[in-house]
A and B are shown apart, each in its own frame.
Chain A
């Protein structure tokens, strides 16, 4: 089955600096890579996703990159703000009808220092 590793487990950055979170996956058949943000006591919510036919995707201050050959994908947050403080999860999934698991990484606790 799929195995997703995520690093670092904790990350502290000064407000205004950039943050980068990295994930690797094991199953080369995976073709969908979402990122979720979970604020304290809340449910995970999607912030950005990327599909395997795309190398990079941006949405304002958030970007995700995918290297299929190396089976790496990363989340980049620029100009960080206090409200970016949360736990971030990467995930991997593949479309094989009848067997569509969504496997999560272990999470990164991001703290933005004012």
Chain B
């Protein structure tokens, strides 16, 4: 079972470049999330989605964009990379359920902006 898959695992970007972090899940989960984890820090919510076509901002959305055209995919776009965006990015998903359940995380993307 693949679960939540993120690509790439590592990336180095130059200031001002753009890139898309890919996230796909094969569990038919409605909810998907993007978090960033700075060194020694907790997980901060960037964007989340409750289903295809619906996205909303989290705590730290500036500098990022998302889209959710299918249930499976939730890409995160960085348009003009800045050193402050150096972080580890985690994608997660949860099923739609009346009974709240755990979020499943991808393995993370380590991004360095130089």
Contacts and interface: CB of A to CB of B under 8 A. Distances in A.
Given A43-B106, A100-B31, A104-B35, A95 B41 contact: no
Interface residues of A, number: 28
Size category, B interface: 20 to 34
A95 B100 contact: yes
A43 B105 contact: yes
A103 interface: yes
A105 to B, nearest CB: 6
A88 to B, nearest CB: 11
Interface stretch (B20-28, B43-51, B68-76): B43-51
A24 B85 CA distance: 28
B105 A93 contact: no
Interface of A: 1, 6, 31-32, 34, 42-46, 49, 51, 89, 93-95, 97-107, 109
Given A1-B59, A32-B100, A46-B102, 12 more contacts: A43-B105, A43-B107, A43-B108, A51-B100, A100-B48, A100-B94, A101-B48, A101-B58, A102-B45, A104-B35, A104-B43, A106-B42
